[in-house]
Homo-oligomer: A and B are copies of this chain.
Amino acid sequence: MSAHGRPQAPLMSNTQADRVKEVARLAGRPSRLRRREFLAEGPQAVREAVRLHLDRQDAGRDGVVVDVYATAEALERHTDIAALLDREDAPSLRRVTPDVLAAMSSTVTPQGFVAVCRFVDVPVEDVLAAGPRLVAVLVEVRDPGNAGTIIRAADSAGAGAVILTGASVDPYNPKTVRSTVGSLFHLPLVIAVELDGLIDRLREAGLTVLAADGYGATNLDDLQDASAARRFGSGDDDGPDESGSGSDEGAAGPSVSAVRLEDAGAWLFGNEAQGLPAEVTAGADARVAVPIYGSAESLNVGTAATVCLYASARAQR
């Protein structure tokens, strides 16, 4: 590590140091809320946090990383991260022993990197003012892993933002941060939004509001068929002309024509056990079900969200 141009602070080796305990405490919500900081653990999350930090500073804004802690071995293995941290405007790096890193981390395998980051969430007004084309809204999604999966899927599908309502899981908890694999640092995140009035705000921002609902009357396949017919068809929008759409009254039903997947849209995803509240589904422009072709009773919310977000992304290209 002598290749690093910046002066080095001494190796941290005392697992009982106050600083180590303070970092470890960020695994708990009270400490996070008090300090408005959270933990990014592992090379992928830390790399993305540092990148965002540098990008923001390049744009004249405050960075997001307070400190990076890393073992010598991890810095040698991940030379790309070491190079980022070697930049003049990089966040401060403290080298630590593996024991100190383990004491700081909430995971079994932090893989040599932990970063203390400032909260990255932004006001919902800012997000909606930017005119996003695709937004994922988590309405009381409670499982940390599911929330992480949806944030990562939203990032993959190119969504413009992820919004979490107040009763949803805290996205800064280590398990969610970990399961986003860095995506938490890729797209605007809004937290603790009041559910009350949210649908109106989404619609005022020009977004079609789609409630993902296994019991919904609108089949996602029909929406996709209608979108494909508009894109590939002769223009008369009459849906498939062969091999039948199979189910009900075809792709031209009123519930289908009312919404278009290619329009800017916000998908609402509900609680694992209860789904979306009735007042939410009632206020949406459509209640959309991901079709189940086999015998499964339902889809995991993370899986359903992935299918929905990718369907919109495809239609919107």
Contacts and interface: CB of A to CB of B under 8 A. Distances in A.
Interface in A286-317: 290, 292-300, 302-303, 306-307, 310, 313-314, 317
Q: How many copies does the complex hold?
A: 2
A153 B300 CA distance: 9
**Closest 3 CB pairs between A and B?**
A158-B293, A186-B295, A228-B228
B221 A182 contact: no
Contacts of A155: 294-296
A182 B297 contact: yes
A185 to B, nearest CB: 9
A232 to B, nearest CB: 4
Contacts of A95: none
Contacts of A158: 292-294
A57 interface: no
Contacts of A72: none
A234 B231 contact: no
Nearest to A185: B295
A214 B232 CA distance: 27
Given A242-B231, A293-B158, A294-B186, A303 B300 contact: no
Given A300-B152, A303-B149, A307-B310, A293 B233 contact: no
Given A303-B306, A314-B224, A294 B157 contact: yes
A240 interface: yes
A156 B246 contact: no
B306 A186 contact: no
Interface string A214-233: 00000001001100110111
A44 interface: yes
Given A303-B302, A306-B303, A307-B307, A156 B294 contact: yes
A157 B300 contact: no
A284 to B, nearest CB: 22
